[in-house]
Amino acid sequence: CGSIVMAALASVFRGITASRTVQGVLRHAPRRQLHLHEAYSMELLKKHGVRTPRMGIAHTAEEAATVAENLGGEQWAVKAQVLAGGRGKGHFESGFKGGVHVVKGAENVEAVAKNMIGHKLITKQTGHAGRPCNMVLIVEKMNIIKEYYFAILMDRASQGPVIVASSQGGMDIEAVAKDDPSAIIKEPIDIKKGLTLEQAEALAVKLGFSPQSSEQAAQEMLKLYSFFLKFDCTMVEINPFVQDAFGHAVVLDAKVNFDDNALARQPEVLSHRDFSQENPLDVVALKNDLNYIGLDGNIGCLVNGAGLAMATMDIIQLHGGKPANFLDIGGGATAKQVTEAFKIITSDPRVSCILVNIFGGIMRCDVIAEGIIHATKQLDLKVPVVVRLQGTRKIEAKALIASSQLDIISADELDLAAKRAVQVSRIVQLAREAGLTVSFKDQITTDASVESELTPEL
């Protein structure tokens, strides 16, 4: 349901012509939703009373075989647990094809699991780097009569939850929506009334559940909506939602996203978060209360306030540079957070200059200056730093930087600071290509109305 969710997000910006910087940030930005592995999502659904197949989680190949034997039966699905779509069509770095296999015999379950666990799965959503598979989900094979698609998500246009469903389940729903839009059913839910039994039964009939199964399918839909509300979900996607040979409506696969802002009241959900599936820099930023998004440029940015950060990146581009990141330290950052921010920025080998742009309102400039000085000394920075500080305790901050005797380049105006950062970045890049190191001495550090001169020392 990725494109459907993105369409909902895109409605926020409909009619707005975004700058290249805004477009870049949106393209690289991690969604503000917590994703759980299918295995954990299915466990939560089962605890909530939703009908699911018998299954088990395995962290080793031997454990996978044991789980299959304990489940009983002759055939099982072995599913790699990686937070990415398109697992079935993906491949592992070892060359093993497919992240989902249906096999006979416990020995074959073990063999398939061995090719998955401990290897990276590469899909259309992971990029070439892939993501590690640390466990597999073993699911009993069911006798399925019909597959459907069912999802609940938040929709801006409806100003509340909406059900998206189709009788064409078990396949790429984006392709279905593109090739046959009439096959997609959308059912808005009144946020005050919730999903009613009558509404759910009518939807089950419209989807094509048999008369003996439609009532039970409606009950499962009600449970799914209850789950959606209870766990502060932004999306519950079931693909496929099936009718088995006994007439039961069963959730066979689930993808669930949770609202990050509500995680404080969802400890069970939070306990299942898998940081190995996330960008390590995003994890560090999260733990230090920093808002970070990596981009593809070479000028690192450290700014307080999202709006100022966007403006800073735009001005960098105006002068011919490319920002390496979006990093907002917020209004109450400490010297320690500034140091951590520098660690994140300098971990990107492409960064050839760091631009610090602080407007001190709630934030004190001297705190930022302390953090810059501490980071420069602790990290033994080899990357030049351009600093623009304005606002609360600006004079004290400049005095701290001046007394530190560090080679920090200053500017009072943002336009000049950005221009200097771009110039310095180009010099550093040329030096790197020539196998040289370079440092800078700031000859003029007073008012930005007079353009400063930089003297590189090779």
Q: Catalytic amino acids?
A: 149, 237
DSSP code for 192: T
- Give me Rg for the CA atoms of the chain: 27
Cβ(241)–Cβ(209) below 8 Å: no
Which secondary-structure segment (H or E) carries 186? strand 184-188
Give the rounded distance of the alpha carbon of 340 from its chain centre. Answer: 20
Q: In angstroms, rounded to a whole number, what is the distance separating the alpha carbons of residues 208 and 241?
A: 12
**What are the beta bridge partners of residue 139?**
55, 77
Q: In angstroms, rounded to a whole number, what is the distance separating the alpha carbons of residues 327 and 306?
A: 8
Sign of torsion over alpha carbons 169, 87, 85, 141: positive
How many C-beta atoms surround the C-beta of residue 197 within 10 A?
12
Q: In angstroms, rounded to a whole number, what is the distance separating the alpha carbons of residues 250 and 240?
A: 9
Residue count (the chain)? 458
Is residue 445 helix, strand or coil? coil
Which secondary-structure segment (H or E) carries 211? helix 211-230
Cβ(266)–Cβ(39) below 8 Å: no
Q: Tally helices (H) and strands (E) across the chain.
A: 15, 22
How many C-beta atoms surround the C-beta of residue 20 within 10 A?
11
How many C-beta atoms surround the C-beta of residue 69 within 10 A?
13
Structure tokens at 42: 């299915």
DSSP code for 331: S
Sign of torsion over alpha carbons 426, 429, 435, 439: positive
Please spell the DSSP secondary structure of 2-19, one letter per residue.
HHHHHHHHHGGGTT----
Alpha-carbon separation of residue 438 from 13, 182, 428, 430, 433 (angstroms): 43, 63, 7, 10, 12
